[in-house]
Amino acid sequence: MNDPLLQIRDLSVHFRTGNGTAEVLRHVSLDLARGRLVGVVGESGSGKSTLAATLLRLLPPNLARLDGAITFEGRNLLTLPPAETEALRGTRFAMIFQDPMTALNPVFTIGNQLVEFQRAKQPSASRADLRARAVRMLARVGIADPARRLDDYPHEFSGGMRQRVMIAAALLTEADLLIADEPTTALDPTIEAQIVALMRELHAEIGSTMMLISHSLGLVSQLCDDVVVLYAGTVVETGPMAEIFRNPLHPYTRALIACEIGHDVARGDRLASIPGEVPDVTRVPPGCIFAGRCPDVVPACREAVPELRAFGPDRRAACSRL
Ligand SMILES: Nc1ncnc2c1ncn2[C@@H]1O[C@H](COP(=O)(O)OP(=O)(O)OP(=O)(O)O)[C@@H](O)[C@H]1O
Ligand SMILES: [Mg+2]
């Protein structure tokens, strides 16, 4: 993994809450390799969306602490002036949200918005050219009769179609990094499968770096080259998806995979769950963050935080018992 697009080093993000400081991300270090499709997986509350928000510098006002470095083209994104980080959003980094209505403005037509999404990078292009590109991209993501649909408003599209419009919008920015936060969670399984196939196809064609955030390891495994497993704000394992599926190292990754395999859609099961609960991040216990739920725990696990160590060239895991 030479020359990563982004290098995250020792990133910690803490928020002020009514219950004290929430340590939402703790000492996160990872590289996003160029052109790869990277999955970030973890249960609800593990800090996935906060990681995306930090990359885009869209952090809430109750931020208490922001430490570490995110290096992009030799510069630390965490210390750039706000105007520069704003300039990066929508040109170098683009985001696909779970609910496209958070990104699409209900009072403007899809056409107007798709033109505006392209403006930052193409300030002098004619409106007709940008509309023509938008029509081609809408066709590409599977919107029928795209030239006519350009004059429709977001609410005139179904949920699945709006998600396609959002993907088209993100692709039109030609960003170097596309972050998709739970892009299919609001969709039914058939539409989800179509969107996953579409994202895979577009990624193969466009070759930009993509970060797919999901609580579903199954979804991530269908789509991603690499995976980052987050647990309560800590990276517990990273590496190529296929290798991790074949040989998960961290007990949490093993538990996630076991849930995925035990999950039988035909029987109508929802996801089997891991016994115990995610720890309260306002009261982070000493030692390994997973110790409270780990089937392999020994007393030493509750003393020191295990380091994220290398196991082969591209694999790392944070468990002192490995
Ligand atoms: N602005 C905030 N202030 C205080 N706590 C927050 C804030 N935003 C997030 N958190 C807390 O940080 C933790 C991580 O939240 P985050 O939304 O990043 O998790 P997630 O992995 O994206 O979860 P989900 O799968 O539910 O989307 C949670 O415990 C959440 O309650
Ligand atoms: Mg989230």
Query: Does 52 reside within a domain?
Result: yes
User: Going by CA atoms, what residue is nearest to atom 7 of ligand 1?
Assistant: 15
Tell me which residue of 120, 121, 116, 114 sits closest to 137, measured CA to CA.
114
pLDDT band at 278 (very low <50, low <70, confident <90, very high): confident
pLDDT at 269: 47
Count of domains in the chain? 1
Summarize pLDDT for 74-85 with one digit per residue, the tens: 999 999 998 999
pLDDT at 265: 47
Q: Which residue bears the tokens 């193409």? A: 122
Q: What is the CATH number of the domain that holds 188?
A: 3.40.50.300
Summarize pLDDT for 236-268 with one digit per residue, the tens: 999 999 999 999 999 999 999 988 876 554 444
Q: Which residue bears the tokens 């849930």? A: 259
User: Going by CA atoms, what residue is nearest to atom 3 of ligand 1?
Assistant: 15
pLDDT at 196: 86
* Ligand 1 atom with minimal separation from the 52 CA: 18
More confident call, 171 vs 151: 151
Q: Is pLDDT of 61 > 70? A: yes
Cα of 87 to ligand 1 centre, how many Å? 26
Query: With helix as H, strand as E and coil as C, how does the chain read?
Result: CCCCCEEEEEEEEEEEECCEEEEEEEEEEEEECCCCEEEEECCCCCCHHHHHHHHCCCCCCCEEEEEEEEEECCEEHHHCCHHHHHHHECCCEEEECCCHHHCCCCCCCHHHHHHHHHHCCCCCCCHHHHHHHHHHHHHHCCCCCHHHHCCCCHHHCCHHHHHHHHHHHHHHCCCCEEEEECCCCCCCHHHHHHHHHHHHHHHHHHCCEEEEEECCHHHHHHHCCEEEEEECCEEEEEEEHHHHHHCCCCHHHHHHHHHHHHCCCCCCCCCCCCCCCCCCCCCCCCCCCCHHHCCCCCHHHHCCCCCCEECCCCCEECCCCC
Cα of 8 to ligand 1 centre, how many Å? 19
pLDDT above 70 coverage of the chain, percent: 96
Q: Is pLDDT of 271 > 70? A: no
Cα of 60 to ligand 2 centre, how many Å? 14
Query: Does 166 reside within a domain?
Result: no
pLDDT at 293: 93
User: Going by CA atoms, what residue is nearest to atom 8 of ligand 1?
Assistant: 50
Cα of 40 to ligand 2 centre, how many Å? 10
Summarize pLDDT for 200-211 with one digit per residue, the tens: 888 888 888 999
Query: Does 257 reside within a domain?
Result: yes
Instruction: Please compute the mean of the pLDDT values over residues 216-220 and round it to a whole number.
Output: 90
Instruction: Please compute the mean of the pLDDT values over residues 293-303 and round it to a whole number.
Output: 95
| Nearest bound ligand to the CA of residue 42 | 1
pLDDT above 90 coverage of the chain, percent: 68
User: Going by CA atoms, what residue is nearest to atom 27 of ligand 1?
Assistant: 44
Instruction: Please compute the mean of the pLDDT values over residues 142-148 and round it to a whole number.
Output: 94
Pairing mode of beta strands 209-214, 177-181: parallel
Query: Does 169 reside within a domain?
Result: no
User: Going by CA atoms, what residue is nearest to atom 10 of ligand 1?
Assistant: 24
Summarize pLDDT for 158-174 with one digit per residue, the tens: 988 998 999 899 889 88
Measured from CB, residues less than 6 Å from any atom of ligand 1 are: 15, 17, 22, 24, 42, 44-50, 60, 62, 215, 281
Cα of 47 to ligand 2 centre, how many Å? 7
pLDDT band at 2 (very low <50, low <70, confident <90, very high): low
Q: Which residues constitute the domain of residue 232? A: 6-92+175-317
Query: Does 137 reside within a domain?
Result: no
Bridge partners, residue 137, by sequence: none
Taking the alpha carbons at both ends of the chain, their separation in whole angstroms is: 23
Please give the biggest Cα pair distance in the chain: 67
Instruction: Please compute the mean of the pLDDT values over residues 52-56 and round it to a whole number.
Output: 94
User: Going by CA atoms, what residue is nearest to atom 31 of ligand 1?
Assistant: 45
Residue 79: how many CA atoms within 13 Å on its side-chain side?
Answer: 8
Instruction: Please compute the mean of the pLDDT values over residues 137-151 and round it to a whole number.
Output: 94
Which of 24, 54, 65, 181 is the best mutation target for the ligand 1 pocket, counting ligand atoms within 8 Å of the beta carbon and taking the most? 24
Q: For residues 279 and 26, give the distance between their C-alpha atoms in angstroms, rounded to a whole number.
A: 13
pLDDT at 263: 56
pLDDT band at 272 (very low <50, low <70, confident <90, very high): low
Which of 46, 214, 234, 283 is the best mutation target for the ligand 1 pocket, counting ligand atoms within 8 Å of the beta carbon and taking the most? 46
* Ligand 1 atom with minimal separation from the 47 CA: 18
Cα of 236 to ligand 1 centre, how many Å? 18
Query: Does 32 reside within a domain?
Result: yes
As a whole number, the mean pLDDT across the chain is 90
Q: Is pLDDT of 297 > 90? A: yes
Cα of 24 to ligand 1 centre, how many Å? 7
Query: Does 243 reside within a domain?
Result: yes
| Nearest bound ligand to the CA of residue 51 | 1
| Polymer length in residues for the chain | 322
Instruction: Please compute the mean of the pLDDT values over residues 15-35 and round it to a whole number.
Output: 95
